Structure 1
Amino acid sequence: MINIGALVVLFAFLFLSCAYAQDTTTLVPAIITFGDSAVDVGNNDYLPTLFKADYPPYGRDFANHQPTGRFCNGKLATDFTADTLGFKTYAPAYLSPQASGKNLLIGANFASAASGYDENAATLNHAIPLSQQLSYFKEYQGKLAKVAGSKKAASIIKDALYVLSAGSSDFVQNYYVNPWINKVYSPDQYSSYLVGEFSSFVKDLYGLGARRLGVTSLPPLGCLPAARTIFGFHENGCVSRINTDAQGFNKKLNSAAASLQKQLPGLKIAIFDIYKPLYDLVQSPSKSGRQYFDLN
């Protein structure tokens, strides 16, 4: 998942735009990230939440072999993307002490595990809702202007690469386990609600200066170990009905993105389809040189 996500992010934006034309070796001045556990680099370490990655084996394959707050043994897709775009260090988790001074020049990460498009679910999980992530982004802009000066800060905000990864927690940790929702709304209705929240978020982010945005689709949720364990019953392999829900959401997401690009002048938005490559890996791991592939 990590390598696929990184390559999709990289090549999509190389096609969408030219290199960042300043005294730098990076192709964009900064990477600014919003979303959930797929891209959280440690914000949840500073929250009173159960969703943390501050203990082994998390981080065992990272540079210092210590937990970093990433929900991963090593690097995330956004880390590989930063590497390939020429960055020598990674944008810090905004709630961490590292998010200060010149470290802010290369961006910031506002993502929070167990967050998503559904604000209520994020609040219940004691994660950072997307609305609060946007508030932190506004705060970041003020700090950036003090460090870089107003003119350079405005240039960084305009030319930065923005990444949004959300939706998985909304379904797996909220919809499917919450009878107050799944007994009232069908998966299709809930998907429509989430995509509406996505559109509102993008419009707000655009209003704050973002112009190049990469958004991940949902992965094959029915292939996640948790989904297979809790909802698989006697079904072998992935849970087909949950994968169908993910595909339905992705279709709505693509339509919404196309509409937003028409509505908002200058916006370049790409939906990165991680569903198909990940599903193919689960079904045929030997094609990637593996005997087994798990989405955990």
Structure 2
Amino acid sequence: MSRSPFPLSFQPYIYELTTLLSSKEVQRLAGLDMASSPSSALHCYCYSLFFLFFFLFSFRARGQMVPAMYVFGDSLVDVGNNNHLLSFLKADFPHNGVDYPGHKATGRFSNGKNAADFLAEKLGLQTPPPYLSLPSGSKGDAFMKGVSFASGGAGVLNTTNKDKCLTFDKQVEFFSVVYGALVQQLGSEGTHKHLSQSIVAIVIGSNDLFGYFKADSSERAKTTLQQFVDSLVFTLKGQLRRMYNLGARKI
């Protein structure tokens, strides 16, 4: 048996993701046209919910203090980053936010709080602010309680909604900037301890699937479903490896 390149704490997530993307249900969807089959869109939406609940609730804080939460992903957890982008993928208009405190649109793609808000509440934390809302050159203390890099439209692949959102690679790049700021504030050892105790929430993948199954998908025209799945898993492994090297542990 070959040895996994990932630490033990990561292996269950890689296994579950690979199993999900290789499932017969996903393969069955390959023959469906989203424009002509509402059921395919429904199935893709169900998969996005699976990603959401799997990544957010696979870790349970068992009576221990969680100092911060760092959020990565797409519109399911975006709390306003897209407000600061030149993109039509925005939620800064009614009726978004109609049930949110203040009854105004905040950039969340929902009528009220989203999954990032609810998870923060469960952890006893304030919802992390959007990274792009913070002043350029912010010091480490601005990131001590966490920050959100999530961006509506983002996917595992950089080609998903290209130039319309913060790609997952870009989100990881911003995380490296935060890591550097924390090192200046806490030192290397202090930063490692802080990040190892923090929650790193990732909700990603549904936009890649939506894009692949679109009627006019160029990706589906040039790759098989298995090739597409392989590229997703390969890319995600590299992204998770980079995050692990920056100190992320509780993902």
> Can you list the C-alpha shifts for 1:206-253, whole angstroms capped at 9, x where unaligned?
11111111xxxxxxxxxxxxxxxxxxxxxxxxxxxxxxxxxxxxxxxx
Equivalent position to 2:59, from 13, 25, 32: 13
Show structure 1 runs of 5+ residues with no match. Answer: 21-26, 214-296
The corresponding residue for 1:95 is 132
The corresponding residue for 2:223 is 185
Larger RCO (alpha carbons 8 Å, 6+ apart): 2
Q: Is the 8 A contact 2:52 2:203 kept in 1?
A: no
Root-mean-square deviation (CA, aligned residues, Å) is 2.7
> Can you list the C-alpha shifts for 1:49-93, whole angstroms capped at 9, x where unaligned?
110011111111111111111111111112111101111x21111
The corresponding residue for 2:34 is none
SS class of match (2:226): helix
Matches within 5 A, 1:1-40: 12-14=58-60, 18-20=62-64, 27-40=65-78
Rounded to whole Å, the distance in 1 between the matches of 2:74 and 2:128 is 16
SS class of match (1:60): coil
Matches within 5 A, 1:116-265: 116-124=155-163, 126-148=164-186, 151-173=189-211, 175-213=213-251
Matches within 5 A, 1:59-70: 59-70=97-108
Q: How many residues align?
A: 202
Rounded to whole Å, the distance in 2 between the matches of 1:200 and 1:207 is 11
The corresponding residue for 1:105 is 144
With the length of structure 2 as denominator, give the TM-score of the two structures.
Answer: 0.71
Q: Is the 8 A contact 2:51 2:204 kept in 1?
A: no
Q: CA deviation at 1:31?
A: 0.7
With the length of structure 1 as denominator, give the TM-score of the two structures.
Answer: 0.61
Q: CA deviation at 1:136?
A: 0.4
Q: Is the 8 A contact 1:19 1:28 kept in 2?
A: no
Matched to 2:218, the amino acid is W
Q: Is the 8 A contact 1:10 1:85 kept in 2?
A: no
Show structure 2 runs of 5+ residues with no match. Answer: 1-45
Cα 1:180–1:13 shift into 2, 3 Å: closer
Give me the identity figure in percent.
Answer: 32
Q: CA deviation at 1:10?
A: 6.7
- Shifted more, 28-37 versus 146-155: the winner is 146-155
> Can you list the C-alpha shifts for 1:271-293, whole angstroms capped at 9, x where unaligned?
xxxxxxxxxxxxxxxxxxxxxxx
Rounded to whole Å, the distance in 1 between the matches of 2:235 and 2:92 is 30
